């Protein structure tokens, strides 16, 4: 659907095809220093900029990184500026690390209000498409984000302001990148799609990588392993949003694609800086409760109609 045709229609509580007005003047802060935001992969790139921006907005930020020294080195300058930033080690691809982090968050911080699943890997150069590291990519970008989310779900404070999960995703994982009609149909049918089916889709992809048949199966053509990880993350996010809504939980789940951004992941190529992305990402994470959708996919600050892409 063109953005012109989509404009004005709503989906997931967001108006499609038109940019959200994220101007700070229009916002009244619903959060305080008591509001806790956890950001993964926050020692560099978009995650670091986003952690800094959320702390500058006045929240308490738990900056996490898989490496203790790199994480502490990233958190210390923010603390030196008087920002409320704690560092904790967290490798999202490691079940023991995730469990240890969840215990620490429960026992030491008492819970959280915002989770930003940002940590991710890609091993491809801009114009290459190797799947050599597909298992690591899927284990980090999809299973890692999912494992952490499920571990932290019971710790959301479900405040009156509504707790939120923002998954930093990519338009490379949107349905218009898939050419296999049966896969498209599976992902489109939201009434019958299940989390098990999404896991099975990922297992099927990894099996095809192992037997060398993945290339002709209709998967996204660009950065295929990374795109499949984001395809799965986008589908899981929508299913989780529905699951939480159905049980009346006050936790929203949305995805945000920052666009081509100059970070290590793109070897410094891109049209935006991590700081520009952090500015918009933080405002999406801090949307006023009355304007907060769930199950939405934001391409920059424009909600997309997932099913008609
Ligand atoms: N840059 C873009 O153009 C672009 C576009 C669309 C979406 N995105 C998304 O934006 C997010 C941030 O990407 P970026 O561009 O900032 O990438 P980046 O500069 O490569 O940073 C990735 C971060 O993730 C961390 N990480 C990797 N594996 C981890 C693990 N197992 N556990 C915990 N942390 C881990 C890295 O830690 P180490 O330092 O230890 O490696 C690093 O802090 C990702 O979700 C990416 O997919 C980026």
Report which of 86, 103, 13 is spatially closest to residue 51, judged by C-alpha positions.
86
Of residues 52, 3, 5, the one with CA closest to residue 273: 52
pLDDT of residue 3: 41
Is it the case that residue 308 has pLDDT exceeding 80?
Answer: no
CATH number at residue 292: 3.40.50.720
* Arithmetic mean of pLDDT, 63-88: 98
For residue 303, what are the β-bridge partners?
Answer: 298
Rounded Cα distance between 234 and 236, Å, is: 6
Task: Please write the tens of the pLDDT for every residue from 144-186.
Answer: 999 999 999 999 998 777 899 999 999 999 999 999 999 999 9
Which residue is closest in CA terms to ligand 1's atom 6? 170
Average pLDDT for the chain: 92
Q: How many domains does the chain have?
A: 1
Residue minimizing CA distance to atom 13 of ligand 1: 46
Pair of tokens at residue 221 = 């053509």
Question: Model's pTM, two decimal places?
Answer: 0.94
Q: Report the residue among 43, 47, 63 best suited for mutation to probe ligand 1: largest number of ligand atoms under 8 A from its CB.
A: 47
Task: Provide residues with CB under 6 Å of ligand 1.
Answer: 40-41, 43-47, 65-67, 70, 90-93, 118-121, 140, 144, 168, 170, 257-258, 260-261, 263-266, 270
- SS3 label, residue 253: strand
Determine the structural domain holding residue 46 and report its residue range. Answer: 3-308
Going by pLDDT thresholds of 50, 70 and 90, the confidence category of residue 306 is low
pLDDT at position 304? 84
Per-residue pLDDT tens over the stretch 218-272: 999 999 999 999 999 999 999 999 999 999 989 999 999 999 999 999 999 999 9
Is the pLDDT at 6 greater than 80? The verdict is no
Q: What is the 122 CA–ligand 1 centroid distance (Å)?
A: 8
pLDDT of residue 158: 82
| More reliable by pLDDT, 4 or 119 | 119
pLDDT for 19 equals 73
Supply 309's token pair: 């892409």
Our answer to whether residue 226 is catalytic in this structure is yes
Q: What is the whole-number distance in angstroms between the Cα of residue 168 and the centre of ligand 1?
A: 9
């Amino acid at each position: 659907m063109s953005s012109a045709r989509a404009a004005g229609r709503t989906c997931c509580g967001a108006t499609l095809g038109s940019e959200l007005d994220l101007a700070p003047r229009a916002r009244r802060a619903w959060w305080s220093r008591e509001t806790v935001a956890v950001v993964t992969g926050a020692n560099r790139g978009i995650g670091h900029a986003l952690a800094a921006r959320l702390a500058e907005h006045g929240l308490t930020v738990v900056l996490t990184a898989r490496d203790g020294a790199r994480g502490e080195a990233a958190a210390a300058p923010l603390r030196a500026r008087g920002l409320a930033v704690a560092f904790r080690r967290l490798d999202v691809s490691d079940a023991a690390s995730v469990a240890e982090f969840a215990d620490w968050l429960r026992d030491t911080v008492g819970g959280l209000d915002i989770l930003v699943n940002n940590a991710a890997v890609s091993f491809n150069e801009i114009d290459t498409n190797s799947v050599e590291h597909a298992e690591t990519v899927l284990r980090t970008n999809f299973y890692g984000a999912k494992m952490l989310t499920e571990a932290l779900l019971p710790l959301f404070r479900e405040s009156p302001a509504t707790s939120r999960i923002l998954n930093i995703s990519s338009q490379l994982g949107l349905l218009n990148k898939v050419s296999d009609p049966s896969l498209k149909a599976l992902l489109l049918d939201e009434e019958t799609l299940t989390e098990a089916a999404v896991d099975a889709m990922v297992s099927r992809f990894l099996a095809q990588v192992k037997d060398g048949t993945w290339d002709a199966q209709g998967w996204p053509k660009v950065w295929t392993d990374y795109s499949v990880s984001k395809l799965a993350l986008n589908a899981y996010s929508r299913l989780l949003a529905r699951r939480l809504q159905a049980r009346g939980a006050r936790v929203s789940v949305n995805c945000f694609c920052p666009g081509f951004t100059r970070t290590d992941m793109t070897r410094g190529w891109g049209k935006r800086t991590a700081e520009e992305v952090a500015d918009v990402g933080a405002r999406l994470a801090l949307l006023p409760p009355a304007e907060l959708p769930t199950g939405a996919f934001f391409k920059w600050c424009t909600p997309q109609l997932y099913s008609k892409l």
